[in-house]
């Protein structure tokens, strides 16, 4: 036993160690995703306190509010804000949001300068200023404070890839609007710019449609849901009615919310397969118009249950009306029409589909799939939209304005780029966040497969072959996919995306040569896990134990 005075001394020393450790949560070395360039000053700092003002150029008025709210939530500091051109009331220190097309040379770029009396964020677009704000907030502690001294620094930062996305399936399970907004906040924090909203599938329609109301009265509801894994035998169902849809007003609210945060929403209406909910509402669009279909109760329908559209005039009228109705709601340039996993067997067995193939001189069922995609692309073009589809839409010949979202491997990505399509990489391995992140048999149920966090971090969107062929420019980015068959609650979604989404953010944002998994883990532990906790979000904690080697 140490004499009492030594024990006290040890305590003081330990406390001394603990205090700087706590302030590491606001260290410039902890920023995630890691910035392009950080130039620390040797000395100097700017003090932010209750008297500090946010001064913004009018282009960034919404982001000034956004910053004020986030800072208040994180630290309790409630700052006043005013537009640049108003007569400046004398403030001791300022946080300036400056619209600057001269020094900011790239899209979504920002600079953050802490020097003299001011913290200055410069950007020339919404994304840029939002990312500057995210970086700045990471320099503040995650606790109530009266004032914070931010050390002098200059950060120059911009993304490696133009497309940085996360997908969310709201069909298999639906989530409250509050969580959709939270999800958008998670994207903004991670400097991602696209939310891919998977709105329809076999198990339900999740968006209000006025022109075909049965899509909602019938198509949005299923009478039962599978319990457990879809491969488990015998299958068991819960017998409970499940469903709902987002109203157009709610969708508009989400679009506005996302826009302030620099995030574009890509809606997806999945055709011509994955359409069981559609044909449940309108059997006349199915290959068996005389049948009554149920909205699917189970998962993994491909080649197991009929879920395709029949090519008939009423179907195409329907597609035109509905796609155009949804297109009018979303301001973004792109619309996702699905096109994945279209089983050909139902078309093979249907005389009407066969006659259609013959009359339109299509080669076969693949040709029919392309026909569907081309028709819908035309309806969307009339509304000024370009089309994205899952890579299976390349089974036919498509014009190259179509953007390909590749859930296959490198091979499919390379093939699409060689044909001159822009490609978003979203390979099942490792970017499907519905797969397991551990091999622990007691881990919460997931689809199958193993995508540990280090595999996500190691992912390189540009395959070597493509780089050698000088086709890099076709790879515009990547996306994490979140299919929710086994995610019945927001907490389960969070458990599946964190920290994999954080790993992906660095793949997409940071320069390749700055990537370092050990340092990533350090920053994750010091700065990001406290952030998940602050968000009251769940996350997968055992990422050090479960690695690619395991």
Tell me which residues touch ligand TNX (CB under 6 A).
340-341, 390, 407, 432, 434, 447, 483, 485
Could you write out the DSSP letters of every residue in 100-140?
-TTT--STT-EEEEEETTEEEEEESSHHHHHHHHHHHHTTS
Q: At its nearest, how many Å lie between ligand TNX and the CB of residue 255?
A: 23
Annotated active-site residue in 49, 100, 341, 519 = 341
The beta-strand segments (E) located in 351-474 are 386-390, 403-406, 423-425
Nearer to ligand TNX, 157 or 270 (CB): 270
Nearer to ligand TNX, 255 or 431 (CB): 431
Q: Which of 99, 97, 80 is nearest to 89 (CA)?
A: 80
Bond preceding residue 375 cis, omega within 30 of 0? no
What distance in Å separates the CA atoms of residue 482 and residue 474, rounded to the nearest whole number? 24
108 among known catalytic residues: no
Q: At its nearest, how many Å lie between ligand TNX and the CB of residue 170?
A: 12
Q: At its nearest, how many Å lie between ligand TNX and the CB of residue 391?
A: 9
Residue carrying structure tokens 């003081």: 12
Q: Are 500 and 433 in contact (CB under 8 A)?
A: yes
Nearer to ligand TNX, 124 or 198 (CB): 198
Q: At its nearest, how many Å lie between ligand TNX and the CB of residue 231?
A: 12
Nearer to ligand TNX, 88 or 227 (CB): 227
Sign, Cα dihedral of 550, 428, 294, 268: positive
Distances (CA, A) of 388 to 178, 340, 392, 400, 406: 27, 11, 11, 11, 10
Sign, Cα dihedral of 355, 361, 364, 365: negative
Annotated active-site residue in 57, 108, 125, 201 = 201
201 among known catalytic residues: yes
Nearer to ligand TNX, 118 or 395 (CB): 395
Q: At its nearest, how many Å lie between ligand TNX and the CB of residue 215?
A: 19
Q: At its nearest, how many Å lie between ligand TNX and the CB of residue 465?
A: 23
Nearer to ligand TNX, 198 or 531 (CB): 198
Q: Which two tokens stand for residue 407?
A: 């859930």
229 among known catalytic residues: no
Note the residue count of the chain. 550
Q: At its nearest, how many Å lie between ligand TNX and the CB of residue 547?
A: 22
Q: Which residues contact 123 (CB under 8 A, 6 or more apart)?
A: 60, 97, 98, 99, 100, 104, 109, 110, 111, 129, 131, 132
Nearer to ligand TNX, 79 or 337 (CB): 337
Could you write out the DSSP letters of every residue in 353-381?
HHHHHHHTT--SHHHHHHHHHHHHHHHHH
What distance in Å separates the CA atoms of residue 321 and residue 221, rounded to the nearest whole number? 22
Annotated active-site residue in 190, 198, 274, 435 = 274
Q: Which residues are catalytic?
A: 201, 274, 341
């Amino acid at each position: 036993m140490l004499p009492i005075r030594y024990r006290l001394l040890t305590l003081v020393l330990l406390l001394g160690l603990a205090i700087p450790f706590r302030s590491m949560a606001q260290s410039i070395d902890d920023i995630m995703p890691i910035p392009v360039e950080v130039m620390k000053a040797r000395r100097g700092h700017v003090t932010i306190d209750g008297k500090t003002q946010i001064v913004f150029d009018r282009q960034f008025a919404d982001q000034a509010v956004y910053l004020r709210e986030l800072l208040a939530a994180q630290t309790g500091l409630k700052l006043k804000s005013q537009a640049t051109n108003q007569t400046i009331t004398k403030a001791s220190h300022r946080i300036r949001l400056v619209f600057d097309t001269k020094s900011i040379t790239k899209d979504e770029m920002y600079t953050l300068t802490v020097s003299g009396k001011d913290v200055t964020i410069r950007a020339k677009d919404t994304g840029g200023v939002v990312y500057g704000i995210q970086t700045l907030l990471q320099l503040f502690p995650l606790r109530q404070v009266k004032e914070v001294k931010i050390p002098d620094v200059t950060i120059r930062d911009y993304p490696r890839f133009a497309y940085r996305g996360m997908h969310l399936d709201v069909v298999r399970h639906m989530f409250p609007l509050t969580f959709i907004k939270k999800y958008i906040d998670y994207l903004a924090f991670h400097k991602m710019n696209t939310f891919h909203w998977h709105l329809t599938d076999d198990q339900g329609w999740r968006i209000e449609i006025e022109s075909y109301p049965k899509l909602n009265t019938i198509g949005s509801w299923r009478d039962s849901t599978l319990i457990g894994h879809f491969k488990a035998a015998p299958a068991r169902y819960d017998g409970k009615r499940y469903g709902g849809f987002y109203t157009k007003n709610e969708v508009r609210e989400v679009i506005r919310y996302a826009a302030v945060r620099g995030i574009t929403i890509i809606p997806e209406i999945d055709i011509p397969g994955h359409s069981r909910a559609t044909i449940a509402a309108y059997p006349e669009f199915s290959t068996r118009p005389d049948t009554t279909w149920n909205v699917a109760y189970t998962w993994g329908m491909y080649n197991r249950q009929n879920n395709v559209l029949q090519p008939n005039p009423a179907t195409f009228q329907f597609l035109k009306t509905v796609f155009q109705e949804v297109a009018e709601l979303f301001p973004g340039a792109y619309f996702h029409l699905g096109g994945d996993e279209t089983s050909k067997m139902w078309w093979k067995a249907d005389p009407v589909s066969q006659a259609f193939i013959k009359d339109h001189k299509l080669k076969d069922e693949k040709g029919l799939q392309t026909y569907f995609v081309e028709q819908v692309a035309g309806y969307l073009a009339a509304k000024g939209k370009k089309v994205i589809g899952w890579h299976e839409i390349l089974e036919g010949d498509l014009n190259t304005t179509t953007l390909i979202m590749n859930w296959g491997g490198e091979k499919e990505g390379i093939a699409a780029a060689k044909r001159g399509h822009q490609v978003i990489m979203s390979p099942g391995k490792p970017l499907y966040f519905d797969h397991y992140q551990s091999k622990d048999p007691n881990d919460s149920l997931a689809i199958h497969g193993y995508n540990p966090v280090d595999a996500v971090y190691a992912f390189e969107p540009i395959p070597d072959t493509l780089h050698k062929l000088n086709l890099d420019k076709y790879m515009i980015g990547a996306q994490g996919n979140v299919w929710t068959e086994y995610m019945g609650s927001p907490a389960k979604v969070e458990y599946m995306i964190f920290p994999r989404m954080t790993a992906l953010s660095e793949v997409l944002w940071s320069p390749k040569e700055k990537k370092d998994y050990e340092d990533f883990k350090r920053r994750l532990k010091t700065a990001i896990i406290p952030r998940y906790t602050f968000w009251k979000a769940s996350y997968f904690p055992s990422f050090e134990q479960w690695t690619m080697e395991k």
